[in-house]
Amino acid sequence: MFASIAKPFVTRTAFAATRVGGKKHFSSSSAARISLALTPEQLELQELSRSFTAKEIIPKAAHHDRTGEYPAEILKKMWDVGLLNTHIPAEYGGLGLGVLDCAIISEELSYGCSGIQTAAEANGLAQAPVILGASDALKKKYLGRMTEEPLMCAYGVTEPIAGSDVAGIATKAEKKGNDWVLNGQKMWITNGGKANWYFVLAKTDASAKPGKAFTGFIVDGNSAGISVGKKEINMGQRCSDTRGISFEDVVVSDANRIGDVGKGFQLAMGAFDITRPLVASAAVGLARRAYDEALKYALERKTMGKPIAEHQAIAFMLADMAIGVEAARGLVYKTSWQIDNGERNTLVASMAKAYASEVANKNAADAVQIFGGNGFNSEYPVEKLMRDAKIFMIYEGTSQIQRLIISRSLIDAAKKGN
């Protein structure tokens, strides 16, 4: 049923990555001027994603949550209809969708299960620094293969002692002839045990400041010296494959270096300008699901002779939940529009990520409260939403890191008189 809807996108020609002012950016076919209305193409993407979620994700989400089973079959079907690897530019066989287009998809997939959505979007995170800084040959080799079969990849930056403190990364890469030798350990790597290749940030100059100390590499998943740790059993998003990855004398060709030596930190941070809006949109999807479940239940459950939705205490909670969803989506759309149109979006991306993640947590908690004792039971969907929501305030930059970025940006602008 999805083939006819997906057809305009499977051609991989409707969208393209373009340049504004000589700078690489992501763009959709929408007009440069902002509009609160989605384009016909975006509405079609939304309907495709929503239909796929209803048929393929929602009925199976509880199973994957209970068992922790990786959603390989769902991800394959997602690839079949064009909902996986949506960032990849058309010249490398992809759809070349804009960030706003991808945000629309992320919200719908996360509505069904944010763990499954995270597994899918982890590909986008790993691909982002490749799209931003890799050579044409590397893009053809590593992005091209993602469009030929349903492969997964992973973003290897976080370490056991270096999460928010990216400058504390200890994994190192030493140059030996035409190769680099990597040693170190990464932690909390999504798709870690499923990746065909990894983006790895490693220290190449121990004496340099963070902005010049790190270099990005593409490391093949089957390289000698890679050890994949156990699947971590997490509080929520349990079907997402999260592991530690160790590198012991892993040899990587200099041809697999992304960009110049010492420019890896900028690449890794630049990727977040693309992916933080998508994490925020996924949080919106979960928040919307929590609201919908709570509203439905509140209209069915009766106390004191009427639906609990008609009690002011519950009605006001529902109102606040709806406000949060709409406001968070507005931030997501703004920051997505900015980067799609060649504007720097770091500030609003952090605002969207911080706010949407907290709305998701509040809505999930309020949904559990509205469900009462039933909300605490795994036979009902909202306790899963509450467990799944917490990670949105942690991964891809904690809420505290987002506030650090926001406050520094505001203070710097004020000092400059902007």
pLDDT tens digits for range 128-152: 999 999 999 999 999 999 999 999 9
Given a cut of 50, whether residue 20 has pLDDT beyond it is no
Q: Any bridge partners for residue 306, and if so which?
A: 303
Q: Which helix (H) or strand (E) holds 409?
A: helix 399-415
pLDDT confidence of residue 23:
44
| 112 neighbors 286 (Cβ within 8 angstroms) | no
pLDDT confidence of residue 4:
40
pLDDT confidence of residue 162:
85
Nearest to 56, CA basis, from 120, 113, 101: 113
Report the alpha-carbon distance of residue 60 to residue 231 in Å, rounded: 20
Mean pLDDT of the region 344-369: 98
Long-range contacts of 313-316 (CB under 8 A, 24+ apart): 314/370
Given a cut of 80, whether residue 98 has pLDDT beyond it is yes
Which amino acid, 30?
S
pTM comes to 0.90
Given a cut of 60, whether residue 1 has pLDDT beyond it is no
pLDDT in tens, 37-90: 999 999 999 999 999 999 999 999 999 999 999 999 999 999 999 999 999 999
Q: Any bridge partners for residue 214, and if so which?
A: 203
Q: Any bridge partners for residue 154, and if so which?
A: 198
The DSSP secondary-structure symbol of 232 reads P
pLDDT confidence of residue 396:
92
pLDDT confidence of residue 16:
37
pLDDT confidence of residue 163:
82
pLDDT classification of 93: cutoffs 50, 70, 90 = very high
Given a cut of 60, whether residue 22 has pLDDT beyond it is no
Report the alpha-carbon distance of residue 378 to residue 380 in Å, rounded: 5
Given a cut of 90, whether residue 10 has pLDDT beyond it is no
Which of the residues 56, 121, 159, 396 is marked catalytic? 396
Q: Which two structure tokens, joined as six digits, stand for 170?
A: 């200890």
Mean pLDDT of the region 242-271: 96
Phi, psi of 316 (to 5 degrees): -70, -35
Per-residue CA distances from 16 to 43, 94, 172, 192, 340 (Å): 18, 9, 36, 29, 11
Which amino acid, 268?
A
Is 69 catalytic? The answer is no
